[in-house]
Structure 1
Amino acid sequence: MADEPDSIVLRYLRSIDQRLDRMQDRLTDLTARVSSLVDQMSGLRTDIVQIRHQLDRFDGRLQRIEKRLDLIEA
Structure 2
Amino acid sequence: MAAVSDNVVFVLVRRIDERTERMAQELHDVKVRVTALEDGLAGVNRRLDRLEQWVERIGRRLELSDA
The alignment's TM-score, normalised by the length of structure 2, stands at: 0.89
Matched residue count: 64
Task: Report sequence identity in percent.
Answer: 31
Structure 2 unmatched runs, 5+:
none
Q: How does 1:57-68 map to 2 (within 5 A)?
A: 57-63=57-63
1:50 Cα offset (Å): 0.2
Structure 1: gaps (5+ residues): 65-74
Mapping of 1:1-74 within 5 angstroms?
1-63=1-63
The alignment's TM-score, normalised by the length of structure 1, stands at 0.81
Answer with 1 or 2: which has the greater Rg: 1
Report SS of the residue matched to 1:63: coil
Name the Cα RMSD after superposition. 1.1
Runs ≥4 residues deviating over 2 A: none
